[in-house]
Amino acid sequence: MEVRVRYAPSPTGLQHIGGIRTALFNYFFARSFGGKFVLRVEDTDRTRYSDEALDDLYGTLDWLGIRWDEGPVVGGPYGPYIQSERYEIYRKYAQQLIDKGMAYYCFCSSERLDDLRREQEDSHSSQQGYDRHCRNLSKEEIQAYLDKGIKPVVRLKVPEEGSTTFHDVLMGDITRENKDISPDPILLKSDGFPTYHLANVIDDHLMHITHILRAQEWIPSGPLHVILYNAFGWEPPVYCHLPMVMGNDGHKLSKRHGSTSVRDFRDKGYLPEAIINYVTLVGWSLDGEKQFFSKYELEKVFSIEKINKAPGVFDYKKLDWFNGQYIREKDDKELAGLLIPYLDRENLLDGMSEDEKLNRVIAIVPLVKDRLKVLSDVCDIARFIFKDPGTPEAKMLCAKGHTPQQELKALEMAYPIIKAGLLEGKADAAIEEELCELAPKLGIKVNGVFMPIRASVTGSQVSPPLFDSIRALGYDDAFKRMERGLEVLGSTSAC
């Protein structure tokens, strides 16, 4: 049997990191068996449908390098793969259920259903949901409604007694009493559009889906879908409901925890290989030890038996660490090419040709590479190289507990040491040793010697290594900025 799985998102919003984990699990499971990964667009909710969301779906999978074997754009033998292009198929199969006595026309008005709902709520009735009012209409009653021009919905006949069981790879057998299943849900709306349940089951069957890997939030739909499969006389696929993706607080991952859309992570400068690696580990582990996997490796070793039953915790700091590791694996030229768009976005490379940009950024990669968590960090770390931070405030030049007068004296003595040392080609360690010797002479801490130099050159009290920063900026500009720092401290009496 060929393994066939599907990722079937609804294009109503940007791709959520939890949804992409579902896509990755499906993709790697299919690849591990040499099977097919099918993309299906479930766009029957036209009120929430968004072209932007559909474009984001395609763009996200493309960015991650996840290629679908069948689906929109690429086609396949069981298309169309966009549900809004399959309405006639759903109507055909809904009619089959009616003909078999497994479904029926319902003519209840929205007003009647609203009254029924209020009545059940007010009386605290044990029976909630539809009361099966139209379940046993005669042919004559049905025709009378149709003659009046009333368009019916089609409802599924859910058994009123007994129970329904389906097997889940992770959870085992899951059983639900039929009386507790939503009574006779709508399969086909009065406008002829299918509901999720009908379209989902029909499509999975006709597309020969063998395994369904989806979030645990769909477990309550499992018994209803099995009833539908039984009504059609079809064999249900194998179910595997995936653990939820949680934040560190134990609640479902949402915007209150941080970014949740893949687009946000991409815009901030996370690498696709880091996203794939880390997200796959949220709720899955090969052996509890190995952490780094290439996409190719995951295609070989992934198995659903290794999925954890417990919810997976999405740790933003851990993702940052993963991303940093992958950044440091890049060679300088490739990393420079990845950094340029972020520097361009903040207009830090204005006036440069493409070749000049590449050469300029390659030159600074050694300075920033080990300090990047995400690609966009380069803007704050290296901004001083491309854009003059302007005249600093005196308090920026003063280390904690030091006065402007102390820092002025320190910078006056340090400046010629740095200038001569760099121009003469002295070793950084030798220059640093000379600067450190100034501290006891001036009666200040070593930080008091280095802070006015660092802040003058970079416009910040925190920066990459000082001498590397000066070289990256260029000696002339660095010396001018130190001279500007001297002027500021010389004209300031207090911070």
Q: Which residues are catalytic?
A: 255
Q: Please report how many Cα atoms fall inside a 13 Å half-sphere around the Cα of residue 34, on the Cβ side.
A: 2
The owner of tokens 């667009």 is 41
Cα 144 from Cα 343, distance rounded (Å)? 70
What residues contact residue 301 under an 8 Å CB cut-off, 6+ apart? Answer: 32, 286, 293
Is 307 in a helix, a strand, or coil?
A: strand
Which tokens sit at 329? 């694996």
Neighbour tally for 335: CB within 10 Å: 21
Alpha helices, DSSP H only, in 134-178?
A: 139-147
Cβ-contact 349, 386 below 8 angstroms: yes
The residues that bridge with 238 in the sheet, in sequence order, are: 211
Q: Is 424 exposed, middle or buried (0-12, 13-18, 19+ CB in 10 A)?
A: exposed
Query: How far is Cα 29 from Cα 214, in angstroms, rounded to an integer?
Result: 12
If we measure between CA atoms, which residue out of 49, 44, 13 comes closest to residue 262? 13
Tokens of 270: 């996370």
**226 contacts 233 by C-beta, under 8 angstroms:** no
